[in-house]
Structure 1
Amino acid sequence: MTRPTFSIVLEADHPRCDRFLANTFSDFSRTQWEATIKEGVIRLNGEVMTKTSTSLVMGDHLEGFEPHAPQDLGHVEPQDLPLTILYEDDSILVINKEPDRVVHPGPGHPDGTILNAFLGHIHAQACPMPAASSAEDIDDEDMEQPLLGLVHRLDRFTSGCLCLTKTREAQLSLQQQFKQRTVKKFYLALVRLNKRMPHVQQWLVDQPIARDRRYRLRMTVQAGGRPSQTRFTLIKSSNGVGLMLCELLTGRTHQIRAHLAHANMPLLGDPLYAGPSEWKNDQRDQTLIPHPMLHAWSLGIVHPKDQRPLTFWAELHPGFISIMAQLGLTPDPDFLTKGPEAR
């Protein structure tokens, strides 16, 4: 099997190469990237780079091989790990996922994931884990044979509502709801605004998405991709950045990130999609943004057993609230209490 390669041009300065790669290509851990750099298979502006702490500047060109991925992840073991539970019964468990927490095992993250914690919480036995080579290529609408409990996923740095199922019947029911696009999904995002769209308050992006032909871990808008729709509403803006409400009408991998990048409004802290990792206001006060600022705020489903309509809300995590405040994007109190469908 050919080892995958990557090539990326930096949109901003970054103090360390290993951290930049781990944040940009979050399927792999910083430790894996450190080992790959030391292999001598990564080039910076055409020169082999072996120092993991090398600093990077805007315009630098990084290219080379991705870290080695394991062929088989074996079994997912139950672990006693904390979960922030929003709702639970004998069919489903809904949690408020923290940022920087991986949903299921994969390259660089063999355990310590949400799925490990879920199995520990319900006192389940270890379950087989398929090879990870194609796991991230599956959209939520196409999870025909998902892992025990999983019916949808959130990216590593995305926080908020995540629903897991305790029975096969519940899993099949939720799968159908995602496939039929009856699940209501609203996200909050902090973005860099597009100066060419200063007065646009709401719009629909109806553009197909496919995997980037050059950067394997990134999705882009391109002809022949899978139909994808996201509705965006600008809630508040300040100094060139904005708080955006995003309604997912389909469920593609990286859909919000790809559609925002297509509109030249990338998520703050998302270097994979050219989102800045720091921001300065008019007074030149600097705000550091450690990861993509995306929160799965609300999830609406039909209960798989008794058919009750259920809507769950996930409070924003402290880090998101802090950065939102530093950027002058804290919304009116009524907005967070009334919910997205009141807009």
Structure 2
Amino acid sequence: MLKHTRKGNWMEINTPKRWAGKTIEDIFRKDWEVPKKLTHIFRMENKILVNGNKASWSSPLNLGDKVLIKLFEEESLNNTHAFFYDVQVLFEDDHVIVFNKPPFMNTHPNDDTDKDTLLNAAQFYLQSKGEKATIRQVHRLDRDTTGAILFAKHALAGAILDRMLEKHEIKRTYIAIVQGHLRKKKGTIHEPIGRDRHHPTRRRVSPTGQEAITHYQLIKEENSNSYVKCLLETGRTHQIRVHLSHIGHPLLGDILYGGKPILKRQALHAAKLECIHPITGEEIICYAPFIDNPPIFRSIDIYTI
């Protein structure tokens, strides 16, 4: 775990053994895999100091060198309108935050008039604490899907998490209620997903679509429905909804993909999120309690999935 302290706008690190002999360039390009553009900004704007001096990006660090990285600055990357909503926080530190997304709320604005999204609520939450950073979503959840969703508080954390997401290093576990009883209690759906040319928002399994992989496992059966745990290996739009409908088991309430309209939303909840912290390297595991009122998911212990 990388130990650090916050000093105003700066993160201070005493060079650990695993950094000794490496250059700042090595750490940014190889350890953190930061994009070239963002690395260039840190270099050109002198956002790195070593022992109080402007960093030499090509000089090896020595054990115990004091490295300062300027991370916590006021930004003006977007004009996100702050919107108050008492959203539940599952994990937070200086670098990342995980919210428990409520239903019937977009993750981010789709146009200039869309101002009551989770991103807007997250911006308000930070501002109410006196933090002036521009928050960044790392992934998204459908409007009617609830559960754990990850945001970054600064550009470096956001870039590292984006790379981790691309490399499938952020693990997301969902709970769904589907129609019918599954023939196979456990399996993998490996079918490409693309747009449905006959519908503006719907997706479908298509040989010309993007690769999509969903792992599923039966939790329990209740009447004519099944509770299913799903793990995403990829993150396509509507992936779980499309894949489970494709095998004949649409989600309850998911009328877009053939589900019965007996619920106000599709029965899908992001119950667990696991990843390695982008800066410290510690393991983050977040469980998102069910928040529907009245409840949709019954007798499920999320801490055992």
Note whether the superposition's TM-score is higher than 0.5.
Answer: yes
Give 1 or 2 for the bigger CA radius of gyration: 2
Task: Give the Cα separation in 1 of the matches to 2:157 and 2:179.
Answer: 39
In the TM superposition, what is the alpha-carbon distance from 1:82 to its structure 2 partner? 1.7
Q: 2:284 aligns with which of 310, 321, 338?
A: 310
Gaps of 5+ in 1: 1-73, 128-147, 279-288
Partner of 2:165 in structure 1? 178
Per-residue deviation at 1:76? 1.9
1:193 pairs, out of 180, 183, 192, with 180
**Paired residue for 2:108, among 104, 109, 114?**
104
User: Identity of paired residues, percent?
Assistant: 32
Q: 1:232 aligns with which of 187, 212, 216?
A: 216
* TM-align CA RMSD: 2.0
In structure 1, which of residues 202, 216, 233 is the aligned counterpart of residue 186 of structure 2?
202
Deviations 1:128-161 (A, max 9, x none): xxxxxxxxxxxxxxxxxxxx41110011111100
1:233-259 C-alpha deviation (Å, 9 max, x unpaired): 111112221111001011111100110
Query: Post-superposition shift, 1:107?
Result: 4.8
Residues 75, 324 of structure 1: CA spacing in aligned structure 2 closer, same or farther, 3 A cutoff?
Answer: same
CA distance in 2, matches of 1:184, 1:113: 24
1: CA distance between counterparts of 2:133 and 2:91?
24
Q: CA deviation digits over 1:24-63, x for unaligned, max 9? A: xxxxxxxxxxxxxxxxxxxxxxxxxxxxxxxxxxxxxxxx
- Provide the rounded CA distance (Å) in 2 between the counterparts of 1:336 and 1:118: 24
Q: Deviations over 1:94-126 (max 9, x none)?
A: 111111122111259621211111112222669
Q: Does residue 89 of structure 2 align to residue 89 of structure 1?
A: no
**1:168 matched residue in structure 2:** 155
Partner of 1:25: none
SS in structure 1 at match of 2:194: strand
In 2, Cα distance between equivalents of 1:180 and 1:118: 26
Residue 75 of structure 1: how far off its partner (Å): 3.3
Match of residue 296 from structure 2: 323
User: Where in structure 2 are the equivalents of 1:280-319 lying within 5 Å?
Assistant: 289-319=263-293
Q: Which has the higher helix share?
A: 1
CA shift, 1:80, in A, is 3.2
Alignment partner, residue 337 of structure 1? 303
CA distance in 2, matches of 1:207, 1:251: 13
**In the alignment, is the contact (CA less than 8 A) between 1:236 and 1:242 conserved in 2?**
yes
Using the alignment, how far apart are the partners of 2:123 and 2:112 within structure 1? 20
Letter in 1 for 2:114: P
Q: Report 1:1-343 matches (<5 A).
A: 75-107=79-111, 110-123=114-127, 148-193=135-180, 197=182, 199-278=183-262, 289-319=263-293, 322-325=295-298, 330-331=299-300, 335-338=301-304, 340=305
Are the aligned partners of 1:76 and 1:126 in contact in 2 as well (CA < 8 Å)? no
Check whether the contact 2:290–2:297 (CA below 8 A) recurs between aligned residues: no
Aligned partners of 1:243, 1:109: CA distance in 2, in Å?
Answer: 37
Secondary structure at the counterpart of residue 269 of structure 2: strand
Number of matched residues?
A: 225
Q: Distance in 2 between matches of 1:110 and 1:201?
A: 41
Measured in 1, the distance between the counterparts of 2:231 and 2:207 equals 22
Q: Distance in 2 between matches of 1:292 and 1:185?
A: 18
Question: Any stretches of 5+ residues in structure 2 without a counterpart?
Answer: 1-77
TM-score (norm 1): 0.62
Secondary structure of the residue aligned to 1:323 is coil
What residue identity is the alignment partner of 1:180? K
CA contact (8 A) 2:175 2:269 kept: yes
Verify the 8 A CA contact 2:180 2:226 in the aligned structure 1: yes
Please report the TM-score for the alignment, with normalisation by the length of structure 2: 0.69
Give the 3 Å change call, closer, same or farther, for CA 237–108 of structure 1 in structure 2: farther
Match of 1:245, SS state, is strand
Deviations 1:145-203 (A, max 9, x none): xxx41110011111100111110000001101100011111000011025xx4x42101
1:110 maps to amino acid: D
